[in-house]
Structure 1
Amino acid sequence: MARTMKTAGFSVPVPVFERVQALAQRDGISPTAVIRQLVQLALPLAEMGHGIDITRLIVLAEKFDLQLDTLLAKLAPDEVKDLHVVAQRRAAKHHGA
């Protein structure tokens, strides 16, 4: 049976490894799983030639969230209160979050 994973060894600066360990502990997963998730997120962007500007991504996500909240509050105020529950269910279903 063929393996679906390849083992590789990497060196990172101690502060980076400590951050990875902190994420692993916070999320209840291994440091290896944290690295795997980070690579899965960043690799497609790098392959397309995009830099990864985390601050810009966060600002865009927050802006989108605020714009959507504003629209929903005006157009469907009765549905806004449960929207986060629906979003969490969809994230769990489609993204394993």
Structure 2
Amino acid sequence: MNASDSLCALEIAEHRRRILNKPLSHWNHIDLGYWLTSIGFGFCANEICQKLNYTGSVLLTITEEEIMNAGLPISEDLASVLYMEILLLQIYDCEG
């Protein structure tokens, strides 16, 4: 990891900390992009946001079937991982 990678990782971590303090219903596409990047989905964050028109409000009600049927550029296993991360996010949001 070089200095620019470290800086990028710190920036992503700082954005993640800030957005996790906001209710999901207030998240915008930028917040979602940083969150996706922070959980390892940065390689397809733009496509996920565009194909599903994701905002924080959508994350509150999205189903695994909707993720699987969205035609995302990820395997079925990764789609399941993404859904589990969303479920954790929903729990965190309810507890916050």
Question: If the TM-score is normalised by the length of the shorter chain, which range does it land in?
Answer: under 0.3
TM-score, length of structure 2 as denominator length:
0.25
Q: Larger relative contact order (C-alpha < 8 A, sep ≥ 6)?
A: 2
* Greater Rg over alpha carbons, structure: 1
